[in-house]
């Protein structure tokens, strides 16, 4: 495994120009490179797969903590607000990973080809929105071949879809199969929770009742609360609060508006309540937190 991880790391370094999150010509594939440990970073993580080649990272989801590093695969199955922090990285051995955003149509197609007889367990229950597992040699080798496509752009259009399909197949045959298939499986609890998440994301600045949200998800209010907590490690109201505060932080950081206006724009009627909850989440009141972010050059993205 060490040899195949080293080859993946070399490939990521070859096609990433310094630290940062690098978009590539391969659809939905991003390369991540960081040469030093980072501050905790708040972000909303979209459904994605990460294969880590080097270094390590910690992610907090609600009250749950996830550690992952070289040789791990990290799967996010729903949109979730997280706190991520690179823990082990240096200029000589930077944190390196390949991220592939999930194409749900393609995932569903691969699921049909694999067939339910090869997938054990509950196809319809809810699993955690984040899972970490050991990647197999085959998964790492497939990821490496995807990165190497960047060296032959003329091959990307034909070969990238085949390699993406192979990577999903390899993951579906491993311990993260349940988390992946429940994203695409019609009628699963994960899909019902995802409907509620989508509604909150579209209307995060508006108040809501659990009954109305449950109707959107097509389940009872008690079942929604239970399964929402299983998937996201927080209640729907806690989820909404994190979205509101992260959006307010983005508005202030990009100088779109001042703190009071940002709080009002995301749904807070009380400036003092906004300031208290902001400081509780980010560790400092808005102006001091934004000054710290600008000084550190932190990016409001996650990978």
Q: Are residues 84 and 22 in the same domain?
A: yes
Torsion angle, CA of 4/6/8/10, rounded to 10 degrees? -150
Question: What is the domain range of residue 269?
Answer: 242-296
- pLDDT (0 to 100) of residue 240: 96
How confident is the model at residue 118, as a pLDDT? 56
Check residue 303 and give its pLDDT.
56
Q: Do 175 and 112 fall within a single domain?
A: yes
Together in a domain, 145 and 27: yes
Domain count for the chain: 3
Q: Is residue 85 part of a domain?
A: yes
Q: Which tokens go with 271?
A: 């400036």
Q: Are residues 68 and 134 in the same domain?
A: yes
Same domain, 12 and 161: yes
Structure tokens given for 30: 């991003």
Q: Which pLDDT score is estimated for 187? A: 58
- pLDDT at site 186: 57
Q: Record the pTM.
A: 0.84
State the pLDDT at residue 138.
96
Burial class of 30 by CB neighbour count within 10 A (0 to 12, 13 to 18, 19+)? buried
> What pLDDT does 157 receive?
96
Q: Is residue 302 part of a domain?
A: no
Nearest CA-CA partner of 243 in 41, 40, 44? 44
Q: Which two tokens stand for residue 104?
A: 């749900």
For residue 222, what is the domain's CATH number?
1.10.10.60
Q: Are 170 and 193 within one domain?
A: no
On whether both 42 and 168 belong to a single domain, the answer is yes
Q: With b meaning 16 or more CB within 10 Å and e meaning fewer, what string describes 34-47? A: bbeebeebbbbbeb
In this predicted model, what pLDDT tens digit does every residue of 239-279 receive, in sequence order? 999 999 999 999 998 888 899 999 999 999 999 999 999 99
Helix (H, G, I), strand (E, B) or coil at 127: coil
Residues 196 and 128 occupy one common structural domain: no
* Backbone region of residue 30 per phi and psi (left: phi > 0; alpha: psi in -120 to 50; beta: other values): beta
- pLDDT at position 254: 87
Dihedral over alpha carbons 30, 27, 182, 134 (to 10 degrees): -40
Q: Which residues contact 25 (CB under 8 A, 6 or more apart)?
A: 150, 153, 156
> pLDDT under 70 in the chain at which residues?
116-126, 185-187, 297-303
d(CA 94, CA 299): 17
**Is there a single domain that holds both residue 18 and residue 126?**
yes
Task: Give the C-alpha distances (Å, rounded to integers) separating 88 from 91, 285, 296.
Answer: 11, 29, 18
What is the distance of C-alpha 193 from the center of its chain?
16
- Give CA–CA dist 112/101, Å, rounded: 20
Pick the last residue of a domain from 140, 163, 184: 184
The pLDDT score that the predictor gives to residue 112 is: 82
| pLDDT at residue 302 in the model | 55
* Residue 37 falls inside a structural domain: yes
Distance, CA of 147 to CA of 130 (rounded, Å): 24
Query: Do 275 and 255 share a domain, yes or no?
Result: yes
Statement to judge: residues 85 and 30 lie in one domain: yes
Q: What is the pLDDT of residue 171?
A: 92
Nearest to 246 by CA among 292, 289, 188: 289
Residue 156 sits in the same domain as residue 258: no
pLDDT tens digits, 19-51: 999 999 999 999 999 999 998 888 999 999 999
């Amino acid at each position: 495994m060490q040899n195949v991880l080293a080859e993946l790391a070399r490939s990521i370094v070859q096609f990433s120009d310094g630290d940062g999150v690098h978009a590539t010509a391969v659809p939905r594939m991003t390369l991540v490179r960081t040469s030093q440990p980072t501050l905790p970073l708040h972000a909303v993580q979209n459904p994605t797969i990460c294969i880590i080649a080097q270094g390590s990272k910690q992610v907090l989801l609600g009250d749950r903590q996830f550690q992952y590093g070289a040789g791990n695969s990290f799967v996010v199955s729903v949109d979730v607000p997280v706190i991520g922090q690179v823990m082990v990285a240096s200029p000589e051995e930077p944190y390196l990973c390949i991220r592939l955003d999930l194409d749900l149509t393609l995932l569903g197609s691969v699921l049909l080809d694999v067939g339910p007889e090869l997938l054990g367990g509950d196809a319809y229950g809810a699993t955690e929105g984040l899972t970490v597992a050991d990647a197999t040699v085959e998964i790492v080798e497939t990821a490496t071949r995807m990165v190497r496509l960047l060296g032959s752009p003329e091959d990307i259009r034909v070969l990238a879809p085949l390699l993406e399909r192979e990577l999903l197949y390899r993951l579906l045959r491993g311990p993260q199969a349940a988390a992946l298939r429940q994203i695409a499986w019609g009628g699963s609890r994960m899909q019902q929770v995802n409907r509620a998440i989508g509604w909150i994301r579209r209307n995060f600045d508006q108040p809501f009742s659990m009954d109305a949200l449950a109707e959107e998800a097509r389940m009872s209010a008690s079942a929604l609360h239970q399964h929402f907590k299983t998937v996201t490690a927080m209640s729907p109201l806690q989820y909404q609060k994190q979205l509101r505060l992260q959006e307010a932080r983005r508005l202030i950081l990009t100088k779109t508006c001042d703190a009071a206006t940002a709080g009002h724009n995301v749904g807070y009627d009380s400036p003092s309540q906004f300031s208290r909850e902001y400081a509780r989440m980010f560790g400092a009141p808005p102006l001091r937190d934004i000054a710290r972010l600008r000084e550190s050059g932190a990016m409001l993205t996650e990978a």
